[in-house]
Each structure stands twice: as C-alpha cells, then as structure tokens.
Chains A and B, each alone.
Chain A
Amino acid sequence: MSFFTDGNVLSWATFFPLIGAVAIVLLMIGRAMLGLGKVLVDQASRWIALVTSFLSMVAAVAAWSMYDGTIPGVQLVAKAVWIRSFNVEYFVGADGLSISMILLSGIVSFIATIASMPWWSGAKAAEMAGMVDDGHDDPHHPKHFSVRMVPGYMAMLLLLQTGMMGTFAALDMFLFYVFWEVMLLPMYFLIGVWGGPRKEYAAIKFFLYTLAGSVLMLLAIIALYYNSLPAPLADGTMSSGHTFNIMEMARQAQAGVFAGAAPILGFAFTRIVFVGLFIGFAIKIPMFPFHTWLPDAHVEAPTPISVILAGVLLKMGIYGILRFNYAILPDATAWAANAMAVFGVINIVYAAFVCLAQKDLKKLIAYSSVSHMGFSLLGMASMTPQGISGAVLNLFTHGIISSMLFLLVGVIYDRAHHREIEKFGGLAAVLPEYTAMTGLAFFASMGLPGLAGFISEFMVFSGAFPVFTTYTIISATSVIITAAYYLWAIHRMFLGKLNQAYVGFPDLVWRERLTLYPLAAFTIVLGFYPQMILSAVNGSLHALIRNIRPL
C-alpha cells in the first residue's frame, strides 16, 4: 500500500483508467498499422480495461482507508499550478462528501467493467445473448454490445471512468468543469453506438440536455470567478485577480464576498448564480421536470452503462449542489431550501406513481431512480444533520442498489431479449437464483429495514420532518407506492404460472454472479452498519450546513 501516498492516491484513482484508454488507442493504431489480429486486440483491450479499472478501484479503496473522518476539512490533497494566466490549478482532494462518492465510483466502475465482458457465460447463455462473435453482424439480431467494436468501447468506458473520478476529486472549479465535460462525450458514444434500437435519439437527448445544463453551469462558474478575490496558488504565489479554488471560494463566501456582488439583470447575484448552477445540476439528478432524458437514456444504454449512469452519474447532481451551491452560496441556498424540498417531494411521489404504470422493467427502475433521488433533495433541503447525512447516504446506497437493479435487468434482457414485465411470468421456477437476487434488490430499493435503502430513507424522513412536516408526510406515502410497484413487478415477472417461452433459461452465470454478489453483500452490510459510510461523511456535511444555518 506504500505505493499510494496521501498526495497521489486520488490522482492514481483518476488516471489509471486514462492510462488504460491510451494503451487501447495505441493498440488500435497498432492494428491499423501493424495489422494485429482482431481477436488479439479485442482480448488485450478487455484485459487492459479490467486491470486499469481494477487498479483505479484499488486506489479509491486505498483513498477511503487513508481518509480520516474525524479530521474536518480536505485531505489527500495534490496541488499544482496548471494554467497560470487564468489561475487554474490541478487541485484534487477529498472531504467526507467526496470520499464516499470516490469509493462508490471506484466500485461501480469496476463492476461495470466486469459486466462489459462477454466471458464466463455458459455457452448457451452466450449464444442466447448474442455474445458469440462469429464475425458477421446481422441487423435483425444485433450482437451483444460486449463483442461489438470492443477496443472503442473499452477506451470510452475507461475515459468515462476517468471523468467520473476526476469530477469527484477535483477541487478546482475549472478542473471540475473539464472532468464534467470529459464524462459527457464517452457517454454519448457509449449510448449512441452500443445502445438499443432508439440509441441515436436517446444519446442525443442525453447529450444535449446535459450540455444545456453545463452551459448554465459554466456561466455561473465564470460569474463566480470574476467576483472572487485572489487566493494563494499551489506554488505560494498569489493568483492574479481571481481564483478557481473551490475551498478558497467557500472561505470567501463566508466572508461575504459573493453576497455583496453586483446584481445581474436586477436579480441578486448569489440567487441568479445559484439558479444557474442548480439547473445545471438538477438536470443531472434528474429533478422533475428535467428528468425525461433519464428513462430514454437508460432504456437504450447497454447494461454496464446504465449501471454507471444510475450508480454514479446521477449522484453528481446532488454532489455538485452540495459542493458548489451549499458551500459557496449559503444565503441563496437558505432562500431556495423550500423550493428544493418541494421538488424533492414531487420527485418522490410523482415518479413513484409513474413507476406503477410502467410496462418496461428498465423504465420502471429508471423512474424509481428518479423517485429515490428525491429523497436526497428533500433531505439536503432540510439542512438538519440527519437530513443531510441521510441525503448523502442515500446517494451511496442508491448507487449500490440501482447498480444491482440494472445489472439484473441486463441479465434477463440477455436471455429474453425484451423487458416487458407483462410478458414474463413464473420465472421463479426456472431462474431461482436470479429471482432471489432480484427480490433482494427490489426489497432493498423499497427500503426494507436491514437492507441499505432503509436507513437513508429513514434518516431523510427524520431529518426533514421538523422542518418540512407536511412535505415529509406526503413523501412518506411513497413507502406504500414503492412497495406496490415493486411487489407488483415481482408478481408479474416471477410468480404465477411459468410462461412456456422461458423454459430452460440458464440461471445466473459466473460473470453475473461476480457483479451481483459483491453488491448484494454491500447492500446487507450497509443495512446493518451504515455508520461505515456515515462516520466519514458526517463531519464535513455538518460543517456545511452550519455555514448555512448557524447553529
């Protein structure tokens, strides 16, 4: 472990996948110039992806273990001047908020990489899934994404991982924005090239929607930059005029620098900047009414990409709001708290009802993600210790559970080639192991005590209740609706008479077990010992709300 030090561990976690991506690109060049064989290049790029993604996860876990939750403030810092004329630094580090997200990102990324492999399937399962690469691609029976244009896929996947990790680790606004945008492009291609039937539509919708948010965010970042004061750079000199350093900005915000800034278009500076940032992040959450890109993106994305999308990307919305809006714009955050809570409630209840009407399993799960992210919104809007800790714990647990759910959808899709809930029936008889895992994931997602989802839900409720009583009561009705739609889905898919079409389906294969069992274990452990995560995040989060609502 001495290979990783406090200073470099986050950088390794971020750039291991990038190294892998570069290596794969070199391989592709090698194939074009030296005529390396397709099989060789495919296999090599898979291994490169696995190894670098694994190393990235190791680094993330190492960072997690090095992080000391009892010390407030930023740890594991690496800092260097990057673009002097704009005061841009390479500045990565972690506080309680980001370290949990870095851990989540590392785990989910590696699991998504495993899920991108066509190996370890039984011959029959491989054939059913279209994983057997016989060289020609029939448009009516498209090959499994894991055997199509493998090097390109792997390179994109690794680039995406670098983007995610970097987004969570970056503490310089400019660097943050760069990583944020780095994520977008590979995501676009991964959905648009390796996706389902309507992939182009979904990919473009995702890309444009998110980009629209990024633009608002960029404007807000620039506005903040030009209203900031100089701050010391990594090499000890003072920056010229302004700073991109998020920590310094937060410090200046407490000193009232932004509160006194000149209004924009007649609106208070902090509020308009808040709204700009908020919409940018709200699209990512996704918050009602900006959520409609999500079901489409999920439905069309290949399984591992759905996993990353739900497991990590959605968390960036909440993460960004806590990192930027809460830390830098405390006044405006207090001003907007009520609105955030209202949107949270709408997310929770509205999306839950929409779930009830879904016929496509993946869409159902996508909407349940929308519903669950509402808990985070409500919790953090309450700005009580339980509420905000619950909100961040919810990010982590939802990351684990929704990854599992999407993997499970992938399992059945690989076999049945459709996801229509109504068309299944009685699957428990042929796929008992799969049924058990799905049951576990469903119950975890509906917040059954003893599994990960419950604690965060409970903390959000208990935190939000004193502040937003009515809202909390309304959101608590979701415990009923959530149970209803999940149980109904179980009922239609797994129970009852077996549909003849599914006789002889193979149960979980090793690759799927490898991805599902660790997550299942996490789900149970977190259900009984969430303090594992909370002990790291509590300190930082409570400091955050103390700024907004002085205690």
Chain B
Amino acid sequence: MGHESTELVPLVVTHAAYLWLIPLFPLIGATVNALLGWKLQALFGEPKSMKGGRGKQLVHFIAVGAMMASFAVAAYSFFQLRALPAEERFLQQTLWNMFTAGRLTVDLAFSLDQLSMMMVLIITGIGTLIHVFSIGYMAEEPAYWRFFSYLNFFVFAMLLLVMGDNFAVMFFGWEGVGLASYLLIAFWYTDPEKAAAGMKAFVVNRFGDFGFIVGLMLLFWGLGGAWEARPGTLRNLDYVPSVELNTTAGASTAAAAAALAPRVDGVKIGPTMNFRELRDQVVIEATGVKEHLATTTVWGVSLLTLIGMLLFVGAMGKSAQLPLYVWLPDAMAGPTPVSALIHAATMVTAGVYMVARLNFLFVLSPSAMGWVALIGALTAIFAATIGFFQYDIKKVLAYSTVSQLGFMFIGVGTGAYWAGVYHLLTHAFFKATLFLGSGSVILGCHHEQDMRKMGGLKRHMPITRWTYLIATVAIAGFPLANGFYSKDEILWKAFTSHHLALFGQPTPWLGPVIFVIGLIAATGTSFYMYRSYYMTFTGEYRGGEGHGHEHNEDPHSAVAAHTPASSARVHASNGAVHAHGTGHAAHTLEDAGEHAHAGHGAHAALAGVHAAPAAPAVHAGGHGHHGGTPHESPWQITLVLALLAAGSVATLFLGIPTAWSHLPPVLEHWLEPVLLAKVEFSQPAHWLEFLFQGLGVLAATVGFVAARAIYKDNRNEAALQAMIERWKGVWTVVYNKYYVDELYEWAVVRNSERLARVFSWFDGKILDALVNAAGAVTRGFANLDGAIDTYVVDGAVNGLASVISWAGGSLRLLQTGRIQTYLYGALGGALVVVLVNFLIS
C-alpha cells in the first residue's frame, strides 16, 4: 500500500485571510449570549407563549445569525476552494504563533481542504438547522440564553477541531467540544443524574485523551529521530538528539525555529504538530521519514502501529467505540437538539475525521488499520444488539449512533477512507433527522421518552412521521436514501480488503469476517430502527394517562419548589399553569394542551431564582402531569425535519457506486487529493458487487420484516412478552446493556476511589504523622534538654553547696570543746607523722 505511481509533491497553499471568521461568528454568538443573554431576557420580557418573548427572540437571532454568517463564509470558501485545481485545494490562514520552544512550534492557524471543507459545511449547515429547531424545542426554557450560548460555543469548538492546521488547534477543538458536550448534557443540572451523565462523558473522554496525547508524543518523538536511527528503547537518560536537529533546540521564536529546521528538497522535516508539514514529509519519499517511521520499533512494537493504536484510543473516547462508548447513551440526558447536533451529527464523528485526516499515517501500518476496523466492527454489532430492547426512544438512537460509528470505523479502518467519511456525511443527515424527529415526538408527547407510552402518532404528527420514516429507510439501508450507498460501500470494501493485520500478523481473513459482522449488524440496525418506528407511530396512542416517571426527574422544578417565594423574583407566568405539581387531578385536558410545558418556567435562570407562586400546591415533584393528546410541533421544528429528510435523500447522489455509473462517486472524487492513501483492494467481477448490494438490501429487509411482524400496530404484544419470558436470561443481560456500566463502576471507579482514600490516608496518617512526629521528637528533646539543665547542670552547682554545708555540719561534731579530745587529736596526728616518717624512711 501507499506506493502510488504518481510522485506526490508538497501541498500548494493558498492563503485566505477570512478563514478565521468561520469559527469567530459562533464564538461571538456564544460570548454575547453568555454575557448579555440573561440581561436581554430579563429586559425584554419572559415568554408569553410558545414563541417566547422578545428577549428570547433576540437571543436566538444572535445565535442563529452567528450560525448563518458562519455558514455563509463557509459556503464562500467552498466556492473559492472549488475554483482551485483539484490538487491545490488548500486554504490556509495563520493568525499568530501560539508558542515556540525549541523544536515545538505551534501556530494558531486554520486550514481548509476538501475533507475539512465537507466537515465545516456539515457543521455549519446542519448546525444552523438544529439551532432553528432549538427555537421551537427550547421555547419554554428559562435558561434559553444559556442553551444557545453553549450551542454556539460547541460549534466554535467543533470548527476549531476540523479547521485546525495542526494537532494543537485540533486538540483545542477536541477538548472544547468535550466541554460543550459536558455543559449541554448537564444542561438541566439540578437533576443529579443528568449532571452525573455530563461528568461521565467528560471523564470517559479523558481516558481517550490520555491515549491521544501519548500517541501524539510518540509521533512527535518518532519524527525527531528521523535522521538517525536509534535503538528501539526510548527511556534513556543519555538522550542526545543528533547534531543537525539540535541546531534548532534553542530556537525561542517561530521564525528562528523555521529558519533552522533541516530541509530535504525544500520539505521541512523533523518533529512537527502541523498536518501539512507532517503530510509532506511522510508522503514524499525522498525525505526518508516514511522509512524511518516504518522501521522504528518501540518496546518491540512497530512505532507506527503504536501511534495508530494510541491515536485511535482518543477516537474511541470521542467517537464512543468499545470499550469507551459508555458515556454516549448517558449523554442522552441532554436536550434533544444537543443529542442530534453533538452526539450524532458532529462531535462523535471527530474520531472518524481524525483517522481520515491522518490516513497517510494509518495506511503505513496494517496493524493499526486492522485494529481500527476490528474495534469498529465489534462496536457495530455490540451496540446494535443493545439497541434491540431499549424502550427509551433516545437510548435506541444513541446505541444506533454507536453502532453506526462502528461502521464508519470499519470504513476508515479497512482503507476505504472515503466510504467512512461518506457514511459520516449520510449519518449526519439521517441521524440528525431521527434525533430531531424523536425530539419532535418527545415534545408532542409532553416530554415522554418511553416508546411503550407512545404509539399511533402518525395521525397526530404527520410531518414528523414521514421524515422519521425516510430517515429510517436511510439508516436501514434501502437504496431509496443515502444510508444504503455509504454502508454498502463500507461493507464491500471490507470484504475485498486483504491487507489488514493484527499486532504485526497479517490477517487476510479479517476483511471478510468484518463483512459478516457488519452484515449482521446492518440487519440488527434495520430491526431496531423499524421497531422504534412502529412502536412510536403505529397502533393506538398509549400515553393518555399522563406521564411516567421520566417526568418527575425533570429538573426544572426542583429549585422553584424549594424557594420561598418571598426571597426570589416570581416568575411572570400564568398563575393557572402553576397549579401543576400536585398531579393528576390538577389539570383539565384543555389546560394541558395550552400549557403543556409551562412547568419549565420553574427553572432557575441567572441571577434571580424563579419561584413558583407561594401556593400550597407547590410540590417537589414539580413538572406535573399534562395528559392529553399529542400534537404536531411548531413550524421551526417541522421545517427543519423536512429539510434534513430531503438532505438524507439528496446526498445519495454523492455516492452512486462506480459499478452503476462507471464513474467514481462524486464524493470520492472530491476527496481524492486529501485521502491520498491508496489501499489495494481485490477487484472481483461486477456481478459479485451487485450480489453483495443485494445482500445488503436483503439484510435490511429481514430486519424490516421482523420488526413489522412484531411491533406494527402493537399487535403481537402477547407473543412478544412470551418470547421475552422464554429468553428471560439473555433478555435481561442485553436489556441491562451487558452490565458494562456496572463493570466499570466496580473495576475503575471503586478502585480509583479506594486508591484515593489510601493515598489520602497515607498523606494524613503517615506522612503528616511523620512530620508531626518529627515535631514531637524535637519537643521531646527539648524537654529532655530542659530536664538536664534543671537537674544536672543546675543540680551540680547547688549540689556542691549542699555537700559543703553537709560536710561542715558533720565536721562540726568533731569540735567537742573538750580539751582532752583535742589532745587525742594532737596525739593521733603526732603518731601519724611518726608513722609516716618511719614508713618513708
């Protein structure tokens, strides 16, 4: 692979001084709404109706205006890009040098090539639509400004991610979308579970980021040693970079670093964060970088494989692949437009984008590619099976997203980069439609998400129903809509690939195996999607009796219910509406229809606390029960649904297979200069390809027929229950998502907490105790010292005095005053003298 006939040349760069405007507009929108949005809403009134007050209009004009401006600039740049020769389509703008130290130099720079152009159009285009959708969907939300601010911020970060000219800017976006995702999942933060879901998303993603960072470091390091093969061991204190590279070691400005960087044939080589510089030095054989990377091994593993696998760990987190997918289903706690924009159309595809962007790197390592494809395939089938038995409509879509992302990774993993990217595009359309359709359903059913409590909605919500059906056709893989073309291309490429490897061992059988897995997953996809369609839209409406538990978890009411009305600004709202909360009896049907969502009003907004009127009826349960028939959503919602559904069909023309038209698909042709990794696939006869397309349709049909038989009009309820009873064990395991969350809880969370407690105990009870013990010992010494001073030194002085006194007292006894005693003394003395005299002589 990678040995193409035409010699590749360095990228030709066209500077475009307006690129920064694309992310700037959403940033401005986010900032304005974050700083002034609450003020606008406070000044210009609260919502009087579904449409919202003037304040909210200003807020969404700012947000949607920013998106439209951004989209307009993106469209302009698209035309500029298209006007360039195919090989030279590369717009670039450097704003400033962010940091330079030695060989590490990073600019704040944007670039647009065919791939990122496509992504930018998806993000700004579908993003704009979803912003419009949100106007209708979030109309009753008091923290309207906050929602739009977050949403704009997300788009800003996502644009950084795809437009970044280097890894650093990409990583800025990478983490920025993570932050936005966190904020939006936990948007209704007063519900601890929703807040926890946000936290989980961020932390799980951090596991991926860890791999991403390490992979990045490895890449950076690997490029640093490009001119001098060094032993495979990395950890050496005597690290001495080769002389040539060291000339830039002291460079403290970008210019100095650039001037000193070594070049081969004018191509800058050496460690870099810049995609273009990386691409140039890797794909141009004369630099020798490719050989160096291919031959270097680390810890006995090929460096390239390790880089690929670790970078993919990052993608696992962001794109919710096994085993890091667990956050995505929980992320459905966020408002539905968020699920559509972030957790279906854009952010979760960042991993796919990253792998496609680095295709020239991944293609050098069949092991890395095999790893990507295998994980993708496993995820595809794993998530699809979980999707079978979920009842929450958004959870079904969430697992479907995980599964579809798996398909994308099969695509980019097997080397069919364009097919993976195409599936990204088609998925963005149909999954956005599905999510927004489910949002419309949820809104229509008064915040009901359980499909068991829906049914028969096709009568009440015709537009929603038709758009949902179109998108279901697309995802199931019927040739009527775009999903078939991308999925089929992926599976076909998987089947014909024969170069994949795993851990350095060639595995030509892997491609067909992945194909089989993919086909089963596609059958499953068709099944659970039609299941959701039939459960939701056919049969009789089952939600008449008010609401299920989901509702009481709605956080909007929590604050208000606890707030003494006297201490807070009372939410200006229709008093009657606020009789909600005590429940079933409080509302007549007409009431409910009119004020379906008024309970949202009790949400805490910025500075003031919106309180429910201090009526005895105020109740912690909050949202109340609004019963009543479902209704079609407002025009902002249905319009967006229609546009997206149309897009789901229209984009099929981007991927008409070569076998049909004898032309390369439009998108493949467009992306060709970017996805320059040429992977060799076997070229079987056309009839085989047609056969496989037939297999794909067959799979979709099987799923469709099965779902229709069981779920249509809710008619086989009894049989279904019997089946569930029969397979109770399996059903329970799958229904509980294979207990993966519990496994993580047990293996990771508990152990981390335990370790934290141990370290904390060590810190407080051992280390600090040692310090205190040192203090205590010192004090002990001080006391001992004091004692010595008191009893020994001072004692010696006093002791001498008392000895003398005692001796005096004793000797006094000798002086009797009797003359004869003295004489004895004298005599004794004389005798002693004589004796001594005698002894001496």
Q: Interface on A for B, CB 8 Å cutoff?
A: 69, 205, 208-209, 289, 291-293, 337-338, 350, 353-358, 384-386, 389-390, 393, 426, 428-430, 432-433, 436, 443, 448-450, 454-455, 458-459, 461-463, 465-470, 472-473, 476-477, 479-481, 483-484, 487-488, 490-491, 494-498, 500, 503-504, 507, 528-531, 534-535, 538-539, 542-543, 546, 549, 551
A121 to chain B, nearest CB (A): 17
How far is B172's CA from A528's CA once the two chains are assembled, in angstroms?
A: 10
Beyond A449-B171, A503-B563, is A384–B102 a contact (Cβ under 8 Å)? yes
Q: Which residue of B lies closest to A447 (CB)?
A: B175
Determine the chain A residues whose CB is within 8 A of the CB of B253 once the complex forms: 535, 538
Main secondary structure of the interface of A (DSSP, over half): helix
Determine the chain A residues whose CB is within 8 A of the CB of B770 once the complex forms: 289
In the bound complex, do residue B96 and residue A390 qualify as a contact, i.e. CB atoms below 8 Å apart?
no
Contact of B659 with A by CB under 8 A: no
Determine the chain B residues whose CB is within 8 A of the CB of A433 once the complex forms: 606-607
Beyond A463-B104, A484-B203, is A542–B250 a contact (Cβ under 8 Å)? yes
Contact of B210 with A by CB under 8 A: yes
Contact of B265 with A by CB under 8 A: no
B752 interface neighbour in A385, A429, A484, A538, Cβ under 8 Å: A484
Beyond A292-B763, A356-B753, A476-B213, is A462–B104 a contact (Cβ under 8 Å)? yes
16 contacts between A and B (CB under 8 A): A292-B767, A353-B756, A357-B753, A385-B250, A429-B190, A429-B604, A462-B104, A465-B217, A470-B235, A483-B202, A487-B203, A491-B196, A503-B562, A503-B609, A528-B108, A551-B249
A496 interface neighbour in B102, B103, B189, B206, Cβ under 8 Å: B189
In the bound complex, do residue A469 and residue B756 qualify as a contact, i.e. CB atoms below 8 Å apart?
no
How far is B156's CA from A528's CA once the two chains are assembled, in angstroms?
A: 14
Beyond A458-B168, A495-B192, A539-B252, is A480–B210 a contact (Cβ under 8 Å)? yes
In the bound complex, do residue A455 and residue B234 qualify as a contact, i.e. CB atoms below 8 Å apart?
no
In the bound complex, do residue B767 and residue A289 qualify as a contact, i.e. CB atoms below 8 Å apart?
yes
How far is B250's CA from A546's CA once the two chains are assembled, in angstroms?
A: 8
Determine the chain B residues whose CB is within 8 A of the CB of A494 once the complex forms: 189
In the bound complex, do residue A534 and residue B100 qualify as a contact, i.e. CB atoms below 8 Å apart?
yes
Q: Which residue of A lies closest to B567 (CB)?
A: A504
Contact of B17 with A by CB under 8 A: no
In the bound complex, do residue B101 and residue A497 qualify as a contact, i.e. CB atoms below 8 Å apart?
no
Contact of B573 with A by CB under 8 A: no
Determine the chain A residues whose CB is within 8 A of the CB of B186 once the complex forms: 495
A480 interface neighbour in B174, B203, B607, Cβ under 8 Å: B203
In the bound complex, do residue A205 and residue B100 qualify as a contact, i.e. CB atoms below 8 Å apart?
no
Contact of B18 with A by CB under 8 A: no
In the bound complex, do residue A495 and residue B190 qualify as a contact, i.e. CB atoms below 8 Å apart?
yes
Determine the chain B residues whose CB is within 8 A of the CB of A481 once the complex forms: 752
Contact of B775 with A by CB under 8 A: yes
Q: Which 4 A-B pairs have the closest CB atoms?
A: A385-B102, A538-B252, A356-B756, A495-B195
Of B103, B192, B250, chain A has the most CB atoms within 10 Å of the CB of B250
In the bound complex, do residue B104 and residue A450 qualify as a contact, i.e. CB atoms below 8 Å apart?
no
How far is B102's CA from A539's CA once the two chains are assembled, in angstroms?
A: 10
Determine the chain B residues whose CB is within 8 A of the CB of A551 once the complex forms: 246, 249-250
Determine the chain A residues whose CB is within 8 A of the CB of B757 once the complex forms: 357
**Other 5 A-B pairs with CB < 8 A, given A354-B756, A443-B179, A466-B239:** A385-B103, A433-B607, A467-B239, A528-B108, A546-B250
How far is B760's CA from A390's CA once the two chains are assembled, in angstroms?
A: 28
B696 to chain A, nearest CB (A): 40
Beyond A385-B249, A479-B206, A496-B189, is A531–B100 a contact (Cβ under 8 Å)? yes
Contact of B655 with A by CB under 8 A: no
In the bound complex, do residue B234 and residue A466 qualify as a contact, i.e. CB atoms below 8 Å apart?
yes
Q: Interface on B for A, CB 8 Å cutoff?
A: 34, 96-104, 108, 168, 171-172, 174-176, 179, 182, 186, 189-192, 195-196, 199, 202-203, 206-207, 209-210, 213-214, 216-218, 220-221, 224, 234-237, 239-241, 246, 249-253, 558-559, 562-564, 567-568, 604, 606-607, 609, 752-753, 755-757, 759-760, 763, 767-768, 770-771, 775
A473 interface neighbour in B104, B214, B246, B559, Cβ under 8 Å: B214
Beyond A459-B101, A503-B563, is A480–B250 a contact (Cβ under 8 Å)? no
In the bound complex, do residue A353 and residue B755 qualify as a contact, i.e. CB atoms below 8 Å apart?
yes
In the bound complex, do residue A455 and residue B98 qualify as a contact, i.e. CB atoms below 8 Å apart?
yes
Determine the chain A residues whose CB is within 8 A of the CB of B96 once the complex forms: 529, 531
Determine the chain B residues whose CB is within 8 A of the CB of A209 once the complex forms: 771
How far is B253's CA from A386's CA once the two chains are assembled, in angstroms?
A: 12
Q: Which residue of B lies closest to A69 (CB)?
A: B252
In the bound complex, do residue A542 and residue B252 qualify as a contact, i.e. CB atoms below 8 Å apart?
yes
In the bound complex, do residue B768 and residue A386 qualify as a contact, i.e. CB atoms below 8 Å apart?
no
In the bound complex, do residue B237 and residue A477 qualify as a contact, i.e. CB atoms below 8 Å apart?
no
In the bound complex, do residue B250 and residue A461 qualify as a contact, i.e. CB atoms below 8 Å apart?
no
A538 interface neighbour in B101, B199, B240, Cβ under 8 Å: B101
How far is B768's CA from A443's CA once the two chains are assembled, in angstroms?
A: 29
Of A462, A491, A530, chain B has the most CB atoms within 10 Å of the CB of A462
In the bound complex, do residue A449 and residue B189 qualify as a contact, i.e. CB atoms below 8 Å apart?
no
Determine the chain B residues whose CB is within 8 A of the CB of A470 once the complex forms: 235
B651 to chain A, nearest CB (A): 32
In the bound complex, do residue B217 and residue A386 qualify as a contact, i.e. CB atoms below 8 Å apart?
no
A511 to chain B, nearest CB (A): 18
How far is B309's CA from A143's CA once the two chains are assembled, in angstroms?
A: 59
Determine the chain A residues whose CB is within 8 A of the CB of B101 once the complex forms: 385-386, 389-390, 459, 463, 534, 538, 542
In the bound complex, do residue A487 and residue B199 qualify as a contact, i.e. CB atoms below 8 Å apart?
yes
How far is B210's CA from A484's CA once the two chains are assembled, in angstroms?
A: 13
B378 to chain A, nearest CB (A): 23
Beyond A292-B768, A354-B759, A491-B199, is A538–B562 a contact (Cβ under 8 Å)? no
B102 interface neighbour in A208, A338, A386, Cβ under 8 Å: A386
How far is B558's CA from A184's CA once the two chains are assembled, in angstroms?
A: 49
Determine the chain B residues whose CB is within 8 A of the CB of A429 once the complex forms: 190, 559, 604, 609
How far is B240's CA from A385's CA once the two chains are assembled, in angstroms?
A: 13
A394 to chain B, nearest CB (A): 12
Determine the chain A residues whose CB is within 8 A of the CB of B191 once the complex forms: 496
In the bound complex, do residue B234 and residue A469 qualify as a contact, i.e. CB atoms below 8 Å apart?
yes
A352 to chain B, nearest CB (A): 9
How far is B564's CA from A500's CA once the two chains are assembled, in angstroms?
A: 10
A497 interface neighbour in B171, B240, B558, B568, Cβ under 8 Å: B558
Determine the chain A residues whose CB is within 8 A of the CB of B172 once the complex forms: 449-450
Determine the chain B residues whose CB is within 8 A of the CB of A484 once the complex forms: 203, 206, 752
A444 to chain B, nearest CB (A): 11
How far is B764's CA from A358's CA once the two chains are assembled, in angstroms?
A: 11
B202 interface neighbour in A289, A390, A487, A497, Cβ under 8 Å: A487
How far is B493's CA from A18's CA once the two chains are assembled, in angstroms?
A: 76
In the bound complex, do residue B100 and residue A538 qualify as a contact, i.e. CB atoms below 8 Å apart?
yes
A452 to chain B, nearest CB (A): 11
Q: Which residue of B lies closest to A390 (CB)?
A: B101
In the bound complex, do residue A529 and residue B98 qualify as a contact, i.e. CB atoms below 8 Å apart?
yes
Q: Which residue of A lies closest to B755 (CB)?
A: A353
In the bound complex, do residue A465 and residue B221 qualify as a contact, i.e. CB atoms below 8 Å apart?
yes
Determine the chain A residues whose CB is within 8 A of the CB of B100 once the complex forms: 531, 534-535, 538
Beyond A487-B202, A488-B199, is A354–B760 a contact (Cβ under 8 Å)? yes
In the bound complex, do residue A459 and residue B558 qualify as a contact, i.e. CB atoms below 8 Å apart?
no
Determine the chain A residues whose CB is within 8 A of the CB of B771 once the complex forms: 205, 209, 292-293
How far is B771's CA from A488's CA once the two chains are assembled, in angstroms?
A: 30
In the bound complex, do residue A338 and residue B210 qualify as a contact, i.e. CB atoms below 8 Å apart?
no
How far is B215's CA from A476's CA once the two chains are assembled, in angstroms?
A: 11
In the bound complex, do residue A479 and residue B189 qualify as a contact, i.e. CB atoms below 8 Å apart?
no
In the bound complex, do residue B759 and residue A357 qualify as a contact, i.e. CB atoms below 8 Å apart?
yes
Q: Which residue of A lies closest to B246 (CB)?
A: A551
In the bound complex, do residue B175 and residue A448 qualify as a contact, i.e. CB atoms below 8 Å apart?
yes
How far is B104's CA from A463's CA once the two chains are assembled, in angstroms?
A: 9
In the bound complex, do residue A430 and residue B756 qualify as a contact, i.e. CB atoms below 8 Å apart?
no
Determine the chain A residues whose CB is within 8 A of the CB of B235 once the complex forms: 468-470
In the bound complex, do residue B192 and residue A542 qualify as a contact, i.e. CB atoms below 8 Å apart?
no
In the bound complex, do residue B190 and residue A354 qualify as a contact, i.e. CB atoms below 8 Å apart?
no
Determine the chain B residues whose CB is within 8 A of the CB of A465 once the complex forms: 217-218, 220-221
How far is B251's CA from A201's CA once the two chains are assembled, in angstroms?
A: 48
B213 to chain A, nearest CB (A): 6
In the bound complex, do residue A534 and residue B606 qualify as a contact, i.e. CB atoms below 8 Å apart?
no
